[in-house]
């Protein structure tokens, strides 16, 4: 099973549209309380353990701020 090591959100450009939360089939995101540099409430990676690294959130992000970093092979059991 693929998994994500982390999901980076570029706070400089995030506009908090929350399409990432909407598109995510694995319920990884919540609406967060932290504001981006553009003063929008950003998504919060609440359940990274659910992430299957499908890339939909990355691909749909209108501001290209999301980077899903996959776990390296062999790290699954950690």
Partner 1 sequence: MNPLGEKYLRKDFLPFLFCPGCGDGMIVQAFLQAVDDLGCVDDLALTAGIGCSAWIGVYMHVDILKVLHGRAIPAAIGIKATNPSRKVVTFTGDGDCLAIGGNHLLHAARRNIDMTVVMVNNQIYAMTGGQVAPSTAVGSKTQTTPYGNLERQLNGCKVAIAAGATMVSRWSTAHPKQLIKTFKKALNHKGFSFIEIMSQCPVQTGRYLLGSGSPQFNFQWLKDHCMKEEDPSKWAEIEAQGNIPVGDFLQVEQPEFMAEVARMNQRVKEAQAKGGDR
Question: Which positions touch partner 1 (CB under 8 A)?
Answer: 10, 12-13, 15-19, 22-23, 38, 40, 58-67
Residue 63 Cβ vs partner 1, minimum distance, rounded to whole Å: 5
Residue 77 Cβ vs partner 1, minimum distance, rounded to whole Å: 27
Query: Considering beta carbons, is residue 40 or 77 the nearer one to partner 1?
Result: 40
Residue 15 Cβ vs partner 1, minimum distance, rounded to whole Å: 4
Report the 3 state secondary structure along the chain.
CCCEEEEEECCCCCCCCCHHHHHCCCCCEEEEEEECCCCCEEEEECCHHHCCCCCHHHHHCCCCCEEEEECCCCCCCC
């Amino acid at each position: 099973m693929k998994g994500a090591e982390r999901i980076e959100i570029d706070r400089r450009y995030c506009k908090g549209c929350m399409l990432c939360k909407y598109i995510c089939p694995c319920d990884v995101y919540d609406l967060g309380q932290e504001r981006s540099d553009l003063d929008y409430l950003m998504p919060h990676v609440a359940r990274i353990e659910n992430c299957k690294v499908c890339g939909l959130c990355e691909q749909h992000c209108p501001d290209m701020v999301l980077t899903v970093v996959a776990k390296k092979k062999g790290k699954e059991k950690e």
